[in-house]
Amino acid sequence: MKIVAIRDEVVPIRSSIRNAFIDFSQMTASIVRIETDVVRGGKPVVGYGFNSNGRYAQSGILRDRIIPRLLKAAPEDLLDDEGTNLDPFKAWDVMMANEKPGGHGERSVAVGTIDMALWDVVAKIEEKPLYQVLADRYNAGRADPDIFVYAAGGYYYPGKDLPTLKAEMQGYLDLGYNTVKIKIGGSSLEDDLKRIEAVLSILGEGQSLAVDANGRFDIREAIRYAEALEPYELFWYEEAGDPLDYLLNAALVQATERPIATGENIFSLIDATNLIRYGGLRPDTDYLQFDPVLSYGLVEYLRILEMLKRHGWSWRRCIPHGGHQLTLHIAAGLGLGGNESYPHVFKPFGGFGDRAQVLNGRIKPLEAPGIGFELKSDLMDCFNTYFT
Amino acid sequence: MKIVAIRDEVVPIRSSIRNAFIDFSQMTASIVRIETDVVRGGKPVVGYGFNSNGRYAQSGILRDRIIPRLLKAAPEDLLDDEGTNLDPFKAWDVMMANEKPGGHGERSVAVGTIDMALWDVVAKIEEKPLYQVLADRYNAGRADPDIFVYAAGGYYYPGKDLPTLKAEMQGYLDLGYNTVKIKIGGSSLEDDLKRIEAVLSILGEGQSLAVDANGRFDIREAIRYAEALEPYELFWYEEAGDPLDYLLNAALVQATERPIATGENIFSLIDATNLIRYGGLRPDTDYLQFDPVLSYGLVEYLRILEMLKRHGWSWRRCIPHGGHQLTLHIAAGLGLGGNESYPHVFKPFGGFGDRAQVLNGRIKPLEAPGIGFELKSDLMDCFNTYFT
């Protein structure tokens, strides 16, 4: 078998939302399409990929370096031992040839976007949903039947007041979510506490609220917030400071009994290792949110999981950033702690498929070969529009 | 005043050389040209920039994000308080608007390439060589009259044997260098020791040899090499392992009395801070090689220097990667410990100007307004060819 063609396009995912660090009015995403000469159901197997929200499209690196290396590789350098399917690990080595160590940003997104499409192909050729491929290969066949998901929203945008915020959160509860998340750090602590209290006022038994500062705070502000947040018993306090400021995280966990979460802006095995070595996080309390797509793909994510195991961390502490079908398959197939979800933002990339339903805060991956993009019509419309 | 135009192009800097990690047969660099409406000597002031070797051209990020943000900014958002010159710090904030924290690679190169051109403009408008601008602003007016430089070479390439290696090093000594550097880690320890002994056999009193593993080794191999290198009293042992593996560096300095050097693949203030916090480096022994161009420009480099001062490090311990005129001006103006030089590779970007001469291992920056590209004819030929 061989790869016949790889295409990439840039899609705007403009939105008027804003977190504590950036606004999304200029945000873009890369989409890719890998066509093979393998036929399933009378048609060539095609894999799709896109990059998770928050980092920009990577057409420059994809077109200058990553895609040409794959297209120039001998077919056997990309195939498994039987020669009947792609091997994402071998493809990873091809993509990363002549790349120096260090500098893990942007490139990690380009590689991760292609990696998504490669795994889509792999599972389609195996004629299994990806979660089952992953469970069979890396988790003794044991896939979780359903997955914890939480609804991430509560962004700042023009004209948003407390009733609007409450209505947004009520909407998530009505969709079946039990855990919701809002942004903090975009105005003042006093204002954020009002936002938190407003949301808590509509939550009932078994429902909870997480908050996300998107890396905004220095160490003093991070700890001031931790102290102020403590009485609310929040689900977690996410990304208080610079994602690479391990010392800040280590200090923060000394300052609060409550769970903290971080990792979505850490993009490689060595950076993740440093977070575990130096960040002081508690394996029985805190959460790790590494995003497989932004950090060199599932191939590197598997290396990160292996590193966590060696450090005594359960994979249940991992709840990836991303909010899309790939992370849902990874969570189900590898037994992670759950998955992010963006019910109303980052369309068409966020979300899990037309028929996917959240029930009591949990969701099942759809039963289709591959990642299941074909069962998410807005996303397939996007792919079909750009790749005609 | 205002910026009239910003252009960028991609230049191949192909070479058959190879270090322990990558070959350079596909290497590229970005070049940029910033034109202003300020007139000096009857012509508009134009600034040039390029990225240091080892990282690829960044046209994607430059064209998609960095350059459009500068061109869309109100002129006053890029100017100093008098409105008569560019302010690279304000330009930095414009370039980094809507960029999330973390992920310091590629983007850091794009920003650093523009930053070089901005400082070239700043010094040309002040009608001073850049080193003098920097000394006046950040070093109480005290610039060093000349700068330690070492000759970096000794790459692996096809057909290279020990006599060829010795001849290459002899050539550097003949040019006036006292310290030379060769690559290690590309073959075996036994082979590398032969290379080291061959070079040492031609060095005399006051001359020394550094070695560079380009991040190739794991912790065991890094320490095995440290032990084997100890008797040779080398100038330094550079980048033994992954540049972000702080624990490896901390262990390495426990295993050797000799100087180690690292930092060229660390691309931001927070990553540099982590190296100082966790890398165990010795302020009286080791060297820091952060490359201002690859790591968000001189603006971020000044923040890194400030961080070093707070941690009790002398700026004399800094000998930047890069080997070009910008790093020479920075070394002279801010009183660093020296500068890298590539006498025979990475043309036309490496090197210090047509009339620049190494004398007893030291060199003076040329006396011309700006960075002095106009006094380096191969580089101006390149700019003129691509920017016609």
Residue B98 to residue A26, Cβ atoms within 8 A: yes
| Per-residue pLDDT reduced to its tens digit, B198-224 | 999 999 999 999 999 999 999 999 999
Residue A290 forms part of a structural domain:
yes
User: Which chain B residues are Cβ-neighbours of A17 within 8 angstroms?
Assistant: none
Query: Do B172 and B295 share a domain, yes or no?
Result: yes
pLDDT-derived band of residue B14, with 50, 70 and 90 as boundaries?
confident
User: Which chain B residues are Cβ-neighbours of A106 within 8 angstroms?
Assistant: 61, 103, 105-107
Cβ-based burial of B228 (10 A; exposed 0-12, middle 13-18, buried ≥19): middle
Asked if the model's pLDDT at residue B22 lies above 80, the reply is no
Residue B268 to residue A244, Cβ atoms within 8 A: yes
Q: What does the pLDDT read at residue B16?
A: 74
Q: What does the pLDDT read at residue B160?
A: 79
Residue A104 forms part of a structural domain:
yes
* Among A127, A148, A177, residue at a domain's last position: A127
Residue B132 forms part of a structural domain:
no
Lowest mean pLDDT segment, chosen from A13-17, B111-115, B201-205, B354-358:
A13-17
Query: Do B171 and B276 share a domain, yes or no?
Result: yes
Considering only the beta carbons, identify the residue of B21, B58, B100 that sits closest to A21. B100
The answer, for A274 touching chain B at a CB cutoff of 8 Å, is yes
pLDDT-derived band of residue B347, with 50, 70 and 90 as boundaries?
confident
| Per-residue pLDDT reduced to its tens digit, B2-12 | 999 999 999 99
Query: Do A233 and A336 share a domain, yes or no?
Result: yes
| Per-residue pLDDT reduced to its tens digit, B125-184 | 999 999 999 999 999 999 999 999 999 999 987 777 999 999 999 999 999 999 999 999
Query: Do A229 and A369 share a domain, yes or no?
Result: yes
Query: Do A365 and A254 share a domain, yes or no?
Result: yes
Query: Do A172 and A229 share a domain, yes or no?
Result: yes
Q: Which domain holds residue A344?
A: 137-376
Check if A183 is active-site. yes
Residue B244 to residue A268, Cβ atoms within 8 A: yes
Residue B234: which CATH number? 3.20.20.120
Residue A87: which CATH number? 3.30.390.10
Query: Do A229 and A97 share a domain, yes or no?
Result: no
Residue B291 forms part of a structural domain:
yes
Asked if the model's pLDDT at residue B43 lies above 90, the reply is yes
Query: Do A75 and A185 share a domain, yes or no?
Result: no
Query: Do B363 and B340 share a domain, yes or no?
Result: yes
Domain count, chain B: 2
Tell me the ipTM for this assembly. 0.96
Residue B104 to residue A104, Cβ atoms within 8 A: yes
Residue A383 forms part of a structural domain:
no
Q: What does the pLDDT read at residue A20?
A: 75
Query: Do B70 and B199 share a domain, yes or no?
Result: no
Closest CA–CA distance from residue A95 to any residue of chain B (Å): 13
* Among B67, B102, B127, residue at a domain's last position: B127
Residue B98 to residue A23, Cβ atoms within 8 A: yes
Residue B387 forms part of a structural domain:
no
Of chain B residues 88-147, which have a CB less than 8 A from chain A? Answer: 98-109
Query: Do B105 and B195 share a domain, yes or no?
Result: no
Of chain B residues 293-312, which have a CB less than 8 A from chain A? Answer: 294
User: Which chain B residues are Cβ-neighbours of A104 within 8 angstroms?
Assistant: 103-105, 244
> What is the percentage of chain B residues whose pLDDT exceeds 70?
100
Query: Do B119 and B154 share a domain, yes or no?
Result: no
Residue B264 forms part of a structural domain:
yes
Residue B388 forms part of a structural domain:
no
* Among B68, B92, B127, residue at a domain's last position: B127
The one-digit pLDDT tens for each residue of chain A (388 residues) are 999 999 999 999 877 778 877 788 889 999 999 999 999 999 999 999 999 999 999 999 999 999 999 999 999 999 999 999 999 999 999 999 999 999 999 999 999 999 999 999 999 999 999 999 999 999 999 999 999 999 999 998 777 799 999 999 999 999 999 999 999 999 899 999 999 999 999 999 999 999 999 999 999 999 999 999 999 999 999 999 999 999 999 999 999 999 999 999 999 999 999 999 999 999 999 999 999 999 999 999 999 999 999 999 999 999 999 999 999 999 999 999 999 999 988 889 999 999 999 999 999 999 999 999 999 999 999 999 999 8
